[in-house]
Amino acid sequence: MRPLLTLIAVVLVVLGCGLLLAPAGMATLYGAETSAGGDNGSRMAGAAIVALGTLAWLSGRPAYNALGVNVLFWFALKSVVAWLAVRDHVFNAAVGWTVLCFDVFLALACGFFALRGQRINR
């Protein structure tokens, strides 16, 4: 599970940094309109995503073994939110479906390891 958590961490930190540093560019990528309030919300979301990436990174380390289960719950909940965004056409279709599929895959992958009773750091 450690390589999966490392991949998750890298993707989340890159996405979070994009939202923090270039919210208008990320909004364009997602097909969303930009505004001052939207940029601020993007930056807040970016900060949260970077924090989650850090959590995923630490979850794969032996001292932080129990944190991996939190990553499972995050992706399960995020999958629901991504599905709602796709359903309501919040993002452009290609990006929205990509995000949804990525989140569902990661929720299932984390759940697979959790249900097998494996230690998260292996």
- Residue by residue, pLDDT tens for the chain (122 residues) are 788 888 989 999 999 899 888 888 888 888 877 876 677 778 878 878 888 888 888 777 665 555 666 777 778 777 877 787 788 787 777 878 888 898 889 888 877 876 666 554 55
Q: How far is CA 43 from CA 25, 57, 91, 106, in A?
A: 12, 21, 17, 24
Q: What region does 89 belong to: left with phi over 0, alpha with psi -120 to 50, or beta? A: left
User: Helices then strands (H, E): number in the chain?
Assistant: 5, 0
Strands (E), 1-122: none
Q: Does pTM surpass 0.85?
A: no
Distance between CA atoms of 82 and 96, rounded to whole angstroms?
Answer: 7
What would you report as the CA-atom Rg of the chain, rounded to the nearest whole angstrom? 15
